[in-house]
Amino acid sequence: MTDAVATREALRVVGRPVVRHDARDKVAAATAYAADWALPGMLHAAVLRSPYPSARIVRLDTKRAAAMAGVAVVLTARDVPRNTLSTDVPGQTTAVGPLRATLHVLAEGRVRHQGEPVALVAAETLELARDAVEAIEVEYEVTPGVFTPEAALAPGAPAVHGTGNLLAEWRIARGDVARALSGAKVVVEGEYTTQLVDAAYLEPESGVAWIDSDGVITIRLSTQVIEHFRDVAEVLQVPHNRVRVIGTYLGGGFGGKEDVTVEAYLGLLALKTGRPVKMVWTRQESLLSRAKRHPYRLRYRTGAAANGEIVAQQIELLADAGAYAYLSALVLLYSTVTAAGPYRVPAVEVDARVAYTNNPPTSAMRGFGAMQTVFAYESQMDRVARALNIDPVAVRRVNALRRGDTLPVGQVIETHVAIPEVCERAWAALGPRAPARAPHLKVGRGLACNFQPYGRIVWLHDWASAWIGFEMDGSLVVRCGCPDVGGGQASSLCQIASEVLGVTLTRISVHVSDSALTPLAGTTTASRQLYMSGNAVLKTARELRAQLLRVAAPMLGGDADELDMDEDRVVTADGRTLAIADLLRECARVGVPRSHLGVYHAPAGEPVDLATGSGKVFPDYTFGAHAAEVEVDTETGVVRVLAYAAAHDVGRAINPQSVEGQIQGGAVQGLGYGLMEEVVVEDGINLTTSFATYLIPTAADVPDVRAVVVESGEGLGPFNARGIGEPPIGPPAAAIANAIEDATGARITRLPITAERVARALGLLG
């Protein structure tokens, strides 16, 4: 792109905190979420799930359930035309060879994790469907399982699948690490443990399917990926164009609605019964069965010179994939690429492995593997600074990547790296230090940076498309297959179209997330949607504008290049105007289309060999820093976050209010990760399948988050924006751990940082 960096003053709509169109509908409760949908004659569906983490299915008898009055159908694996879902890379690209991962739609002969789906029921009422699930007879023979990645990789461990338990492995070796470590002024060693956590969106997985009047199996559901219509078609063994997915506005996604959830089940049940079917998972079911964030064990040896410069990082990562691969290999790739942090490190070794276990499966969640590593590399950075008596901002400034630097994986950083600015601004935003309220209440501060890729891996050849058209009255329609997860995705597309075409925001209708009726735009994942759909809308709007102004030029007498579109008119340099409706009538008369379909292709590349550091993996990165002030009760270990500031270089804020919202919300999710959230699993059994036991932050648990929006004017998105969906969740855990050490001298290396762990680290528990 040859976008000139527009100044904010030159922009009319982009860069302004406009009110989102969806906010009005949502405060009025007029938004119809996936579960807020009903059709005449609709059946209700329920899933039978395995109570065991590892067992053989000896007998599965559905006769009694199927014979119950009001039960329409009971399905098991043998009723599924193709009982395999590919979960490698959702979206428009599926050929990734070695990363291909599959799972069964319904269990075949064996279950590998608690909650694995075994059978489906559709019945006249939800109560009947649940009763019928209870009436299905299953005899299990419990088999030995493995419940930690270490145990899974030990010789002689029970195999979760036919192959060995090592699912994927990535390595990086750059420079002479042993030599650099031996020459370092200090070498800091640390082992860190991160936990299993859940996306815990408030809207459970839900949807309704029906066979539409044209015979197309139509599934209206809460999803981040409408392209799963293809996966459903494969399962049903019908042509891809006979399945349509309508994505609703989501009640939260955070990666948890990236893999297939209810859509394959709904498609099957609608096809088998010919009737509309609704499926809504209970909260317990959602917490039990949804793929979660990978727990990691991270071992770091970090060497630094006397001036604080990191000279080497030796890193070993081990992650738990749970029972199915899902996106584990890619999550681990993100960890591997980001393992050394947003810093210049001449010598780096990364050895990263992910193993199958009989634990709950893990897959995408906001941060996607570039998250667990932050806790380790930023704890290490802080320990280096302490060892050398350098202040936390200075040590990061010394080490920060700069444009033109090469990451250990061989990727050259091509845009501005704002690490020094975001560190300084986040640190300063904490304001004056709070005085200690009592001698046993220690106050401390911590800083943590991160970098998060935005956009998909370059060898996936990502693209997005959009259609924009004028109605004859001058109102505008934007169509784009972009799911809106609540981050304001659709609203930002309206702002971009408004900016280019000069149409008032209130005169724009936007249709998103329909695999049949909106041009496909790829997944709302990987912090890619503003970048990709935003660029698609920008490109389409510019091409449509040029198309229309070529008609306007002779009407106004002048050169098309000198015309502007503003306030629903065409305007000449000397202030003459042409109403848009008049221009559209002229277009109709002369046969020039008033609409346009545009496709944006992201810069693509070839697969890289990580080990040899051969090149580009991601399009670009978003850089940030968070600063926390905590109060630690040294008698109980209770940690209270007193102040919190989060700064990210977003390139250009399309809607500053939405950007702040992403930063604040991501930071609080990250605080949940750092301080309280944990899916507790014992021998494969999930002990936290309710919101009473799986705790996420409430309004009373967290402070205000000061969002600092830095705009470098450099990024690959529309108007030089960078992705900001995932980045803010990364730094909080490390910022808190660093603040606790600042307050008490105790270093916490295991998440979540509960009062008990702090008390133990303070020696209070003996």
Partner 1 sequence: MIARLVLNGRPREVDVRGNQTLLEMLRDTLGIFDVKEGCDEGVCGVCTVLLDGRPVSSCLVLAAALRGRAVVTLRGLELNGGLHPLQEAFVRHGAVQCGFCTPGMLLTTLAFLEREPRPDREAIRAALEGNLCRCTGYTKIVDAVEAYVRGESGPQ
Residues that bind partner 1 (CB under 8 A): 17, 19-20, 22-29, 31-33, 35-36, 38, 126-127, 200-204, 249-252, 254, 280, 282-283, 485-488, 657-658, 660-661, 664-669, 690-692, 696-700, 702, 704-705, 707
By C-beta, is 531 or 644 nearer to partner 1? 644
Can you count the helices (H) and strands (E) in the chain? 18, 30
565 burial via Cβ count (<10 Å: 0-12, 13-18, 19+): buried
Q: How far apart are CA 563 and CA 685, in angstroms?
A: 66
Rounded to 10 deg, the angle between the 372-388 and 328-338 helix axes is: 20
Q: Find the shortest distance in angstroms from Cβ 675 to partner 1.
A: 14
By C-beta, is 323 or 512 nearer to partner 1? 512
Tokens of 527: 């912090």
Q: Find the shortest distance in angstroms from Cβ 200 to partner 1.
A: 6
By C-beta, is 47 or 160 nearer to partner 1? 47
Q: Find the shortest distance in angstroms from Cβ 46 to partner 1.
A: 14
Q: What is the DSSP letter of 558?
A: S
By C-beta, is 177 or 199 nearer to partner 1? 199
Q: Where are the alpha helices (DSSP H) in 597-655?
A: none
Q: Find the shortest distance in angstroms from Cβ 357 to partner 1.
A: 27
Q: Find the shortest distance in angstroms from Cβ 224 to partner 1.
A: 12
CB 112 within 8 A of CB 53: yes
Tokens 């749970």 belong to residue: 322
Q: Find the shortest distance in angstroms from Cβ 701 to partner 1.
A: 8
For 673, the 3-state DSSP assignment is helix
Q: What is the DSSP letter of 248?
A: P
Q: Find the shortest distance in angstroms from Cβ 627 to partner 1.
A: 15
Q: Find the shortest distance in angstroms from Cβ 127 to partner 1.
A: 8
Q: How far apart are CA 410 and CA 610, in angstroms?
A: 8
By C-beta, is 10 or 19 nearer to partner 1? 19
E strand map for 371-432: none
Report the alpha-carbon angle 416-419-424, nearest 5.
130
Q: How far apart are CA 578 and CA 587, in angstroms?
A: 13
Q: Find the shortest distance in angstroms from Cβ 204 to partner 1.
A: 7
Q: Find the shortest distance in angstroms from Cβ 726 to partner 1.
A: 13
Q: What is the DSSP letter of 231?
A: H
Pairing of strands 705-710, 639-649: parallel
**What single letter denotes the amino acid at residue 332?**
L
Q: Find the shortest distance in angstroms from Cβ 58 to partner 1.
A: 33
Q: Find the shortest distance in angstroms from Cβ 685 to partner 1.
A: 19
Q: Find the shortest distance in angstroms from Cβ 696 to partner 1.
A: 6
Could you tell me how far CA 77 lies from the centroid of its own chain?
31
Q: Find the shortest distance in angstroms from Cβ 687 to partner 1.
A: 15
By C-beta, is 22 or 620 nearer to partner 1? 22
Q: How far apart are CA 757 and CA 519, in angstroms?
A: 50
Q: Find the shortest distance in angstroms from Cβ 746 to partner 1.
A: 27
Q: Residue 392, preceding bond cis, omega within 30 degrees? A: no
575 to each of 538, 545, 556, how far by Cα in Å?
A: 25, 19, 11
Nearest to 486 by CA among 151, 256, 696, 169: 256
By C-beta, is 221 or 312 nearer to partner 1? 221
Q: How far apart are CA 387 and CA 10, in angstroms?
A: 48
Q: Find the shortest distance in angstroms from Cβ 251 to partner 1.
A: 3
Q: What is the DSSP letter of 436?
A: P
By C-beta, is 282 or 547 nearer to partner 1? 282
By C-beta, is 25 or 212 nearer to partner 1? 25
In this structure, the number of other CB atoms found within 10 A of the CB of residue 305 comes to: 16
In this structure, the number of other CB atoms found within 10 A of the CB of residue 507 comes to: 16
By C-beta, is 390 or 494 nearer to partner 1? 494
Tokens 């070498």 belong to residue: 187
Q: Where are the alpha helices (DSSP H) in 162-274?
A: 177-182, 229-236, 263-273
By C-beta, is 31 or 94 nearer to partner 1? 31
Q: How far apart are CA 375 and CA 731, in angstroms?
A: 7
Q: How far apart are CA 36 and CA 26, in angstroms?
A: 13
CB 544 within 8 A of CB 596: yes
- Which sign does the torsion angle of CA 529, 243, 35, 321 carry? negative
Residues contacting 694, CB < 8 A, separation 6+ = 198, 200, 287, 677, 678, 679, 688
**What single letter denotes the amino acid at residue 342?**
P
By C-beta, is 590 or 699 nearer to partner 1? 699
CA diameter of the chain: 87
CB-based burial, 664-675: b 16+ in 10 Å, e otherwise: bbbbbbbbbbbb
Report the alpha-carbon angle 230-598-484, nearest 5.
55
By C-beta, is 665 or 727 nearer to partner 1? 665
By C-beta, is 31 or 754 nearer to partner 1? 31
CB 478 within 8 A of CB 537: yes
By C-beta, is 27 or 69 nearer to partner 1? 27
By C-beta, is 483 or 717 nearer to partner 1? 483
By C-beta, is 467 or 644 nearer to partner 1? 644
Q: Find the shortest distance in angstroms from Cβ 317 to partner 1.
A: 27
